[in-house]
């Protein structure tokens, strides 16, 4: 959470020609909202934005310099993937190696993070990949730095929004759909407890229509997009039912949208009551009125303030890569830490033993600490006893990582892999698209040269049109020389 009690924090979200600014402080376990502002941005150049922000902070006598950026959904590239692992650090390594296959950019051009949407019984996971161009984040950070701010994190607006309305009593299998209407766009997010399932952004917002005569069309368009989102979600998660819809954002229109959703979908629909959120409004409801009049959602600002500092939050700081320690590494650290602390305390005991005046009191203190160390040592020994079981699991899972690395190194330019399916532990089906048919033959030869595969067989290659361009859809079956499970 916040670094210090009573330390203010600025949350900034540049979106759709507006700059949303929130001033928050966390005290005694509650989030206090000092102020929330909407600043129109006419000139979006870096120098103009930094001047505007600097003047804004000066006019309102805002002294804190700690800031968090909120990356809007419109700046994100999101992909839905199925990967052969349940372990976060293995999934991150697979994404790092194959990132270029999922997005139209090189890996060094983006910051990425991910969340697991579902762990399947077969050991595979449905994963949501979030990417943002580092140039986008760097530009926003430069604006903040020129205005005298220090950016300590860059969070995802999608995650901030749904985490803000998350019900702590919500069951893991209970899925809700958030519809957050903003000035010129609407975010639709399906989530369960501590887990996002699906998200999409649509270009229908309250201010996307020039006058109230288009209200009916706006409602109909939004209803159509919600139905499409539910259908898409149901195809991806056929056994999961959305139990409730939540409407948030432009309060002038939430009643109308809520009524239409209830009538046409027959679902339970609730509205976000910002007055009932576990936060304290320093200036009463005046800021709520300002946002209501401007048709702007500030759900992501509140969510980001709550989310900042949590270790499992999505983060897009340039060069940021959250290191996931394996169980083996964590247990080793615990054991080594206990040993180092024991040596340190023994040295302290000898030092104090030389001073007879303080010996009684200090030896008593050392003995107490040694008893604590004995307890920690027992925990470390128990952890070491479990390492053999852990090592077997790590060895088996390493086959999958070796396979991903090998495919990454041997896949030539002109081929894009579209499906990897591991069956019976060692039979791998490879499906992909090639710009030329002869490249498939070259790929087959490269796989045959690999020591990781005992047998490589060509299944088929057929011509097809993809995005108005000719390509060759192919399939290859390879047998691993080591079993994966």
The whole-angstrom separation of Cα 179 and Cα 100 is 31
CA atoms within 13 A on the CB side of 253: 31
CA–CA gap between residue 137 and residue 58 (Å, rounded): 24
Nearest to 394 by CA among 82, 126, 86: 86
Rounded Cα–Cα distance for residues 308 and 3 (Å): 10
- Give percent helix, percent strand, percent coil of the chain, each to the nearest 5: 45, 30, 25
Distance in angstroms (rounded) separating the CA atoms of residues 297 and 182: 5
Helices (H), 298-436: 299-307, 327-353, 359-385, 387-410
Written as six digits, the tokens of 213 are: 């005569």
Phi, psi of 161 (to 5 degrees): -65, -50
Task: Give the integer Cα–Cα distance in Å for 420 and 345.
Answer: 53
Burial string for 287-309 (b: 16+ CB within 10 Å, else e) reads bbeebbeebbbbbbbbbbbbbbe
Q: Give the per-residue pLDDT at 270.
A: 87
Phi and psi (nearest 5°) for 42?
A: -90, -40
Residue 221's Cβ-count burial label (10 Å; 0-12, 13-18, 19+) is: middle
Torsion of CA 166, 167, 168, 169, to 10 degrees: -150
Residues in the chain where the model's pLDDT stays below 50: 1-5, 208-214, 320-359, 361, 388-395, 484-485
The length of the chain, given as a count of residues: 485
Per-residue pLDDT, 349: 41
pLDDT at residue 188, rounded to an integer: 92
- DSSP E strand boundaries for 86-146: 110-119, 125-133
Nearest CA to 78 out of 115, 119, 109 is that of 115
Residue pair 24/7 in contact by the 8 Å Cβ criterion: no
Asked if 218 contacts 237 with a C-beta cutoff of 8 angstroms, the reply is: no
The confidence score (pLDDT) of residue 393 equals 47
pLDDT for res 217: 73
Express each pLDDT in 442-455 by its tens digit: 888 888 888 888 88
């Amino acid at each position: 959470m916040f670094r210090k009690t009573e330390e203010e924090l600025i949350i900034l979200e540049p979106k759709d020609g507006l700059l949303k600014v929130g001033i928050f402080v966390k005290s005694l376990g509650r989030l206090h909202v000092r102020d929330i502002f909407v600043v129109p941005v006419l000139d979006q150049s870096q120098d103009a934005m930094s001047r505007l922000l600097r003047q804004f902070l000066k006019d309102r006598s805002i002294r804190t310099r700690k800031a968090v950026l909120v990356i809007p959904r419109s700046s994100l590239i999101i992909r839905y993937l199925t990967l052969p692992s349940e372990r976060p650090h293995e999934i991150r390594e697979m994404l790092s190696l194959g990132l270029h296959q999922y997005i139209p950019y090189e890996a060094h051009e983006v910051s990425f993070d991910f969340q697991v949407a579902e762990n399947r019984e077969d050991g595979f996971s449905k994963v949501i990949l979030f990417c943002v161009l580092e140039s986008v984040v760097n530009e926003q950070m430069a604006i903040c730095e020129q205005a005298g701010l220090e950016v300590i994190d860059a969070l995802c607006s999608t995650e901030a929004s749904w985490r803000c309305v998350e019900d702590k009593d919500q069951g893991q299998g209970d899925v809700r759909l958030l519809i957050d209407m903003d000035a010129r766009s609407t975010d639709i997010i399906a989530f369960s407890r501590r887990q996002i399932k699906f998200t999409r952004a649509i270009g229908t917002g309250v201010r996307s229509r020039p006058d109230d005569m288009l209200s009916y069309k706006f409602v109909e368009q939004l209803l159509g997009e919600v139905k499409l989102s539910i259908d898409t979600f149901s195809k991806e998660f056929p056994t999961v039912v959305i139990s409730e819809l939540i409407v948030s954002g432009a309060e002038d229109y939430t009643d109308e949208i809520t009524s239409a959703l209830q009538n046409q979908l027959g679902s339970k629909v609730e509205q976000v009551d910002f007055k009932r959120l576990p936060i304290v409004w320093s200036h009463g409801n005046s800021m709520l009125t300002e946002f209501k009049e401007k048709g702007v959602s500030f759900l992501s600002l509140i969510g980001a303030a709550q989310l900042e500092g949590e270790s499992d939050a999505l983060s897009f700081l340039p060069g940021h890569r959250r290191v996931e320690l394996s169980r083996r590494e964590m247990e080793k650290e615990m054991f080594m830490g206990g040993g180092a602390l024991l040596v340190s305390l023994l040295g302290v005991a000898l030092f104090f033993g030389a001073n007879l005046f303080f010996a009684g009191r200090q030896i008593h203190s050392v003995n107490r600490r040694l008893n604590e160390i004995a307890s920690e040592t027992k925990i470390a020994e128990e952890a070491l006893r479990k390492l053999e079981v852990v090592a077997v699991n790590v060895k088996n899972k390493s086959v999958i990582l070796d396979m991903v690395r090998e495919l990454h190194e041997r896949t030539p330019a002109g081929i894009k892999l579209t499906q990897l399916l591991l069956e019976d532990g060692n039979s791998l089906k490879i499906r992909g698209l090639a710009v030329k048919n002869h490249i498939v033959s070259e790929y087959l030869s490269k796989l045959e040269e690999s020591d990781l595969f005992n047998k490589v067989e060509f299944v088929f290659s057929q011509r097809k049109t993809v995005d108005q361009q000719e390509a060759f859809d192919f399939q290859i079956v390879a047998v691993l020389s080591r079993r994966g499970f």
